[in-house]
Amino acid sequence: MGGSSTDIEALLVDVNDLANPTPGMLPANFRDIVGGLEAEGYAYAVVGRIALTLHDQARYVGAIEIVADLSADGRECAAGLVQATRGRFAAHMDPRLCRRPIELMLRPCICATEAGLLAETITRPWFDVPTRLASAEHLLWLWCHSDGVEQPADASALIAGGTVDLYRVQDLLRETDDVEEAGQRRRRLAIGDAVLSTMSSFSRYMAERRARLDPFHRPIWRRVRDDRDEAEGD
């Protein structure tokens, strides 16, 4: 089930203050920064809840999140684009000027896998401008590497919608693990249809994954072995 940017716009209302115009300014902010990226010819992907709407039902959005393939010079130019957008829409993006400002995050790719996924973006007219939106697999892969408060629920909704290729996500996670293992960090992620089929199972997976990354975590097999060795030592 997918939607459109029109579905998002219907939700851009501050229910606690109907006279607050800031949420409704998000489309204008979006057009400004995406137009700048397109004009500069950057490869990019809009991620987060804005992209999620392409694959699932719309949810309230308070942030514009974008990943781009930026060279060293490109980072400086991209920072200038962000600064310019924030300057033009300061009344709605500066926390000193409004209660709940619209957030804008534009960051470079962090690994080869992420850069490769930019080639899989889906171009759609979004908020009235041609936009490159992240694929469902790209979104889920990103959320599996983040501990954002809302992301487990968003990821579960994406999975429940049936639009994401879980095997593709599994391959991407394994590919990333191989890279990270070279950096003395072994991250084994076991994701399958049974684990990712429901919201509760995905939440369990995220909890287990965080436990694996805990340097003080001891898996069951190691605790059993240590207890056996200790008993034999006595």
Predicted pLDDT of residue 203:
64
Predicted pLDDT of residue 164:
86
Predicted pLDDT of residue 212:
64
Predicted pLDDT of residue 30:
98
The candidate with the shortest Cα–Cα distance to 142, out of 221, 201, 56, 65, is 65
Task: List strands edge to edge, sheet with 63-68.
Answer: 103-108, 63-68, 44-47, 129-133, 122-126
Predicted pLDDT of residue 202:
60
Predicted pLDDT of residue 176:
72
Predicted pLDDT of residue 111:
82
Where along the chain do its domains lie? 5-233
Q: Mean pLDDT of successive 10-residue segments in the chain (234 residues)? A: 85 90 96 95 94 91 94 84 96 94 93 84 95 92 78 80 82 68 36 44 64 61 67 68
Residue appearing with tokens 């960090």: 185
**Region class of 47: left (phi > 0), else alpha (psi between -120 and 50), else beta:** beta
Residue length of the chain:
234
